[in-house]
Homo-oligomer: A and B are copies of this chain.
Amino acid sequence: MAPPPSPSFTSVLTATESVSSAGPSVAPARGAVVSAIPTRTPRKAIHIDTINQHLRQADYAVRGRLAIRAEELRVRLDAGDTTLPFREIVNANIGNPQAMDQKPITFYRQVLSLVQYPQLLDSEYADRIFPPDALARARLLLREIGSVGAYSQSQGVPYIRQSIANFIAARDGFPADPASIFLAGGASSAVSSLFTTICNGPSTGVMIPVPQYPLYSATLTIENATAVPYLLDESTQWGTDTAYIASVVRNTLASGINLKAMVVINPCNPTGSCLTPSQIKEIINLAAENSFMIIADEVYQANIYQGKFFSFKQMLRELQRDFPGAYDHVELASLHSTSKGMVGECGQRGGYIELLGLDPAVIDELYKLVSISLCPVVTGQVLTELMVNPPREGDASYPLFKEEYDTIYNRLKERAANLYDAFQQMEGVSCQKPMGAMYLFPTISLPPKAIAEARRRGEEPDELYCMQLLNSTGVCVVPGSGFGQVDGSYHFRTTFLAPGDEYVNKIVAFHKEFLEKYA
């Protein structure tokens, strides 16, 4: 062990640079100070046992052990390792469309490139490179924003909030107020800010679905709040059973927990289910009766493959219209994102939260919180504006936009159906029909020997399954245990973003081998 810091360290001071002792307090002689607390055994300040233990307890499976292993394998492949039984990693663990073969929508990127480099607008070639509506939109946005390199208002650019309000009004048939909208660097960031605002220690309860996107459980764990799980019902397409949820609410309130909010993910991540208007209104009823806020994660609102999307905002406004006064106290947060839908621009970090019914004093606190990190990325705000205000029929960009949008939509729908068909044919696998979002969440019946082996290793059985899938095929999915599931049931979540049948065939073949191995 090297000698500890000693008085000789003062030798780094030169006479001219010596620090004045005329500081704000009377200072002892320097030599004495530096040696005052000898550290015979130099130790680190930051220990795993004394850092934030709530963070330590949090789990985030989407980028957890499986994803880290997948990255290791990718590095080996890139380095020319030919000993692995596959040649590529398929990241079906994360909804990251542009890491697959999804191309960005041209109009969005044209406007983004113009706001990044406004000199392009004045180029003599501008009209030959860009359609007139992209040029016009970039000019308009720059007039409203100034530079995308300047901080915007903490809540987001006023013009963009107005544009989002117009979109919401057109979607729902009820007006929206730009003052109620907070732009955010992706929906994850909005959820984190909202939970930091409303959570006040372990007495705060927030209901979350099971299975759920683990952003919610992880963020609540970090906030040291109490996650109150409510099970989705696999037998009814992972629907919400209001009577059952009401019993969860009753039990929660009876236990003395201050039930502040309920998270609903619709369309659902990971199950792909979509709620009906009645299911939504029943949840709003429960919230109205029992005074809890609804946090509606609606980031997959454009990813609907059967039927139509209904927003919580619309359903709330309908109830408020039909039963005047009875729902005025209901508090709702609705989330949207540029990462999903046919936009798929995950890396651009755009999104927003609309807040309804919240006490203005609470909104002031949320405002203060987001102002501490100054503003969400301004180009992400621009992309949000483009998402909510795309080219319209008659615009120069509309035909290409429509073609690109429809191609992405149809491809997602088709890939979902292909994967679903494959799952239908696999022994011991059952799966709901794809309705929405970007995922399938099949149930897998695991052989008792596989379950026993997992228990021996201290792993979840579906984690064992997914790790072996990754190690034999390069296909990375997320075990159901990362989202929560009924005890004794096993699942995995896979995106249906990857192209081609190859990875589907690999999953089918692996599954057969797995069953044989543990028969």
Contact = CB atoms under 8 A, between A and B. Distances in A.
A319 interface: yes
A393 B301 CA distance: 50
Interface string A1-40: 1111110011011100111111111011110011111110
Given A20-B241, A235-B22, A326-B2, A128 B125 contact: yes
Q: Which 7 A-B residue pairs are closest in the complex by CB-CB distance?
A: A2-B325, A23-B241, A27-B243, A113-B117, A347-B378, A23-B244, A63-B371
A42 B328 contact: yes
Interface string A458-473: 0000000000000000
Nearest to A4: B326
A490 to B, nearest CB: 16
A277 B285 CA distance: 65
A97 B291 CA distance: 45
A37 B165 CA distance: 35
A132 to B, nearest CB: 16
A257 to B, nearest CB: 12
A455 B330 CA distance: 41
A397 interface: no
A112 B120 contact: no
Interface string A356-385: 011101100100110111111111100000
B218 A34 contact: no
Number of copies: 2
B17 A98 contact: no
Q: How large is the interface on A (under 10, 10 to 19, 20 to 34, 35 or more residues)?
A: 35 or more
A123 B130 CA distance: 11
Interface in A173-226: 185-186, 188-189, 192, 196-200, 204, 215, 218-219, 222
B104 A149 contact: yes
A344 interface: yes
B359 A48 contact: yes
Interface stretch (A245-253, A411-419, A425-433, A443-451): A245-253
B44 A196 contact: no
A200 B47 CA distance: 11
B42 A291 contact: yes
B42 A2 contact: no
Given A20-B239, A63-B368, A347-B378, 18 more contacts: A2-B328, A12-B277, A19-B239, A19-B282, A24-B233, A33-B247, A36-B250, A37-B250, A44-B359, A52-B196, A53-B200, A97-B150, A104-B149, A113-B120, A123-B125, A149-B346, A185-B349, A188-B372
Contact of A149 (B43, B98, B368): B98
Nearest to A203: B50
A39 B290 contact: yes
A374 B243 contact: no
Given A235-B20, A247-B33, A292-B45, A368 B55 contact: yes
Contacts of A331: 44-46
Given A13-B278, A116-B109, A349-B185, A39 B289 contact: yes
A18 B112 CA distance: 46
A160 to B, nearest CB: 12
Contacts of A152: 347
A76 to B, nearest CB: 14
B253 A12 contact: no
